[in-house]
Amino acid sequence: MTHQVILALGTNICRRVSLSHAYTRLQSIMSITASSPIYESIPQGNTKGPEFFNTVLYGVTELELSEFQKNLKQIEKEMGRCNWQHFFYTEVFSLRCLDIDIIMYDDVVSTEPELPRKDIYKYDFVLKPLAELLPDTKIAGTEQTFKELAQELGMPQKKMTIVPFLGEFK
C-alpha cells in the first residue's frame, strides 16, 4: 500500500550539499513527486546563525509510518544531524546540518508522532512552501487547505527569498 507524505527540510550548514544529499537519500525510501522552491530565511529567534534553506517535498512511500519515521531519523543521523545549540548558541534554532520533519502522512492525526505537524501554524518557512506547492490540499483532521491557512494567518510575515538551485525538482 502506498502512503502520501509531505516533508519539510531545513539546513543552514553546507546548505546546497545537504539538500542535494537529502534528496538522493530520501529517494531510497519514497518517490518524490513534487518539491516547493527552496527558500532562504533567517533563523527563528536567532540572528547569530547563518540563514536557512527550507523546502517542502511531496511524495509517496510504501513504508508504514513508524518505519518511515525511523528511516528519516537514520538519514538525519547519517548526514550529521546534530543539535549545535549546546556547543555554540543557546537558541533552539541555530545550526542544523539537516532537519527533516513529517508534516503529514496520509490523513493521519496523532500526537506521537505529532501529525499533522503544528509547525504549519507557526512558521512561514513551512507554510509558505506548503501553500504554494499544495494549495488545495486539506490539512488532516480539518476542512482547511494550506492556502486558506496561509491567507488566514497572513503568511509570510518574515522575509523569504527563493534560491536558484541546480537539481531542483519541479
Tell me if 76 sits within 8 A of 25, measured CB to CB. Answer: no
C-alpha cell at 142: 480539518
Tell me if 159 sits within 8 A of 13, measured CB to CB. Answer: no
Q: How confident is the model at residue 165 (pLDDT cuts 50, 70, 90)?
A: low
Tell me the per-residue pLDDT of 87-136, one tens digit each, with 9 for 90 and over: 444 445 557 788 999 999 999 999 999 999 998 998 889 999 999 999 99
For residues 130-143, give the mean pLDDT. 96
> What pLDDT score does 49 carry?
74
Q: How confident is the model at residue 41 (pLDDT cuts 50, 70, 90)?
A: confident
C-alpha torsion sign, points 116, 135, 107, 103: negative
Q: How confident is the model at residue 163 (pLDDT cuts 50, 70, 90)?
A: confident
Q: Which residues are CB-neighbours of 91 under 8 A, at least 6 positions away? A: 43, 45, 46, 48, 49, 85
- Residue % of the chain over a pLDDT of 90: 60
**What is the residue extent of each domain of the chain?**
3-117
Tell me if 41 sits within 8 A of 11, measured CB to CB. Answer: no
Q: With helix as H, strand as E and coil as C, how does 132-152 read?
A: HHCCCCECCCCCCEHHHHHHH
Q: Where are the alpha helices (DSSP H) in the chain?
A: 15-26, 65-78, 119-122, 124-133, 146-153
Please give the Cα distance from 159 to 116 (Å, whole number).
Answer: 25
3-state helix, strand, coil in the chain (%, to 5): 30, 25, 45
> What pLDDT score does 89 carry?
46
Q: Is the pTM of this model over 0.75?
A: yes
Name the fold adopted by 3-117: Alpha-Beta Plaits (3.30.70)
